Amino acid sequence: MARIPLGCEAVAGSLTPSKKRDYRVTNRLQEGKRPIYAVVFNFIDSRYFNAFATAGGNRVTVYQCLEGGVIAVLQSYIDEDKDESFYTVSWACNIDGTPFLVAGGLNGIIRVIDTGNEKIYKSLVGHGDSINEIRTQPLKPSLVVSASKDESVRLWNIHTGICILIFAGAGGHRNEVLSVDFHPSDIYRIASCGMDNTVKIWSMKEFWTYVEKSFTWTDLPSKFPTKYVQFPVFIASVHTNYVDCNRWIGDFMLSKSVDNELVLWEPKMKEQSPGEGTVDILQKYPVPECDIWFIKFSCDFHYKAAAVGNREGKIYVWEVQSNPPVLIARLTHAQSKSSIRLTAMSFDGSTILSCCEDGTIWRWDVVASS
């Protein structure tokens, strides 16, 4: 680790739970024997705020959270290729508002599932290797980005099935891309991170015409003039090991590596020189026993809290935007011992779901404080 200069120290949170909120396990599902890598609530359409999807093995499943800890299975999709292993799933929607699920994994094929009609809508082929994460543009939810082992990040229009942009090349990632995220308000901006230990911020401003063009494209998707974005606007070396998850918190970035902590930092770009800039590490959120990669965190709708599991099946819920950081709760259960790959916080953070290496899904609900 680089020596942190005086006056640039980050504020680290204390691991003493504040007991602000307390969570209790209310349900536990066993989906199968294969690990479940993704669980995600629908934040795109308010009708489905309580619906969530999971991805693991060759299966994508849709559930509904009901009162009293009850979980209802709504839909289940199975890839005919038994070897497929879905690593990621994201909610999206078609331009007419039909709820979609976009999933990807080992095979590198992006599956766009029309949950409104319970059928496959499109399969997007193009990535040269497995897909590690898919995220949806909240302002235009028929745009998704995918992060892949083939060292590229790609922007897709799921409505037309077009690969609009490929973020790779001279300034691109030098190893697998593990995570990617849309900026919540700047529609041109995405951030990606991966096994080359860097976080890269990309702008598609100059290529926006292609994004617009993709909505009206009527020819074959393969004929679309897909563009390469070769140079990111910012490259941050915040971590010294794989960076497996990054999320925008406003203009700040919350990212994690395998160093048992989440890091909140501010990218300070130099206007004159793209690609350069400095990083100001503001806060750190310790997460013990979180030293393996592909453990991702999630936030509630308003980015008030972030929940991250660890390799021992415990979940740490941090208040993200308080100074100093406050540990809201530490969730433990005697039987939850398997690595938690991803958590999902519900709209208001009152429900936390975790999906585990052993194929289980846990539901935690906040306990009404007395």
Partner 1 sequence: MSAPKPSPSASGSDLHIADHQENGSSELEIISVIESLKEKVASDRCAYIKKRIEENAEKVLDVTKNLYKLSMERRNFKIICGDGGVDLLAKRQKDAIDMHNGIGTSNGDNESSSSQEDGYASSAILLGSSIAVKSAVRPINLPEVKKLPPYTTWIFLDRNQRMTEDQSVVGRRRIYYDQNGGEALICSDSEEEAVDDEEEKKEFVESEDYILRMTIKQMGFSDTTLDVLGQCLSRRSGELKARFEDHIKNNTTTSRVNNGNAEGFVNPYIDKDLDAALDSFDNLFCRRCLVFDCRLHGCSQDLSFPVDKQLQWNFPDVDKEPCGPGCHRLVLESEGLSFRQASLEEKAAPASNTASMQIQKRKQGGTPLKKKTKSCQSESASSSEVKPTNDIPMSVKSAGKSGIDKRSSKRIAENVLVAKKKRQKKMVTSDSDRRESEDNSNPPNVKCTSSRKSRRKESPLLDSDKSLQDEAASGASNESESNQPVTSSGETLKKEEFIDENMHNQDLVESKSWKPFEKALYEKGIQIFGRNSCLIARNLMSGLKSCSEIFKYMHRSENRIFSRDGDGMVLSDGCLKADGNETVGGGARRRSRFLRRKGRVRRLKYTWKSAGYQSFRKRISERKDQPCRQYSPCGCQTACGKTCPCLVNGTCCEKYCGCPKSCKNRFRGCHCAKSQCRSRQCPCFAADRECDPDVCRNCWISCGDGTLGIPPQRGDNYECRNMKLLLKQQQRVLLGRSDVSGWGAFLKNSVSKHEYLGEYTGELISHREADKRGKIYDRENSSFLFNLNDQFVLDAYRKGDKLKFANHSPDPNCYAKVIMVAGDHRVGIFAKERISAGEEIFYDYRYEADRAPAWAKKPEASGSKREDCGPSSGRAKKHT
Pairing of strands 86-93, 315-319: unpaired
Q: Which stretch binds partner 1 (CB under 8 A): 99-107, 203-211, 214-222, 326-334?
A: 99-107
**Cβ 9 to partner 1 shortest distance, Å:** 6
Return d(Cα 272, Cα 288) in angstroms, integer. 40
Starting at the edge strand that comes first in sequence, how are the strands of the sheet with 297-299 ordered? Answer: 297-299, 305-309, 315-319, 326-331
Cα distance between residue 351 and residue 320, in whole Å: 17
Give, as ranges, the residues between 224 and 253 that touch partner 1 (CB under 8 A).
228, 230, 235, 240-242, 249-252
Bridge-based pairing of strands 153-157 and 162-167 is antiparallel
208-227 positions binding partner 1, by CB under 8 A: none
For strand 297-299 and strand 305-309, is the pairing parallel, antiparallel, or unpaired? antiparallel
Q: Is 348 in the site for partner 1 (CB under 8 A)?
A: no
Residue 221: strand, helix, or coil:
helix
Burial-class residue 369 by CB neighbours within 10 Å (0-12, 13-18, 19+): exposed
CB of 129 to partner 1, least distance (A): 5
Of residues 74 and 269, the one with the C-beta less far from partner 1: 74
Nearer to partner 1, 352 or 369 (CB): 352
Which residues partner with 12 through β-bridges? 284
Question: Binders of partner 1: how many residues, by CB under 8 A?
Answer: 116
Q: Considering only residues 177 through 196, tell me which ones interact with partner 1, judged by CB under 8 A.
A: 184-185, 195-196
Question: Which of these segments, 14-22, 208-216, 217-225, 321-329, binds partner 1 (CB under 8 A)?
Answer: 321-329
Q: How far apart are CA 238 and CA 281, in angstroms?
A: 8
One symbol per residue from 254 to 283: x for binding partner 1 (CB under 8 A), - otherwise; what is it?
----x-------x------x-xx-----xx
Least distance in angstroms from the C-beta of 216 to partner 1? 18
Q: Can residue 3 be called a binding residue for partner 1 (CB under 8 A)?
A: yes
Q: In angstroms, what is the minimal distance from the CB of 64 to partner 1? A: 5
Please report the DSSP string for 254-312 in residue order: EEE-SSSEEEEEEEEE-SSSTB-EEEEEEEEEE-TT--SSS-BEEE-TTS-EEEEE-TT
Which residue in 21, 22, 32, 106 binds partner 1 (CB under 8 A)? 106
Q: Which stretch binds partner 1 (CB under 8 A): 65-73, 205-213, 215-223, 328-336?
A: 65-73
C-beta of 281 vs 370, nearer to partner 1: 281
For residue 275, give the nearest of 267, 266, 284, 283 by alpha carbon: 267
Fill in the per-residue mask, 283 to 302: x = in contact with partner 1 (CB under 8 A), - = not in contact.
x--------xxx------xx
**Shortest distance (Å) from residue 106 CB to partner 1:** 7
Between 333 and 370, name the residue whose CB sits nearer to partner 1.
333
Task: Give the whole-angstrom CA distance, residue 223 versus residue 61.
Answer: 33
- Which one, 7 or 369, has the nearer CB to partner 1? 7
Interaction of residue 313 with partner 1, rule CB under 8 A:
no
Q: Which of 123, 222, 332, 335 binds partner 1 (CB under 8 A)?
A: 123
Q: Which residues contact 67 (CB under 8 A, 6 or more apart)?
A: none
74 burial level (CB within 10 Å; 0-12, 13-18, 19+): middle
| Parallel, antiparallel or unpaired: strands 351-356 and 360-366 | antiparallel
> Is residue 324 within 8 Å of residue 282, measured between CB atoms?
no
Q: Restricting to residues 31-50, which ones interact with partner 1 according to CB under 8 A?
A: 43-49
**Which one, of 173, 182, 124, lies nearest residue 150 by Cα?**
173
Residues 136-175 that bind partner 1 (CB under 8 A): 138-139, 141, 148, 150-152, 166, 168-170, 172, 174-175
Is residue 332 part of the contact set for partner 1 (CB under 8 A)?
no
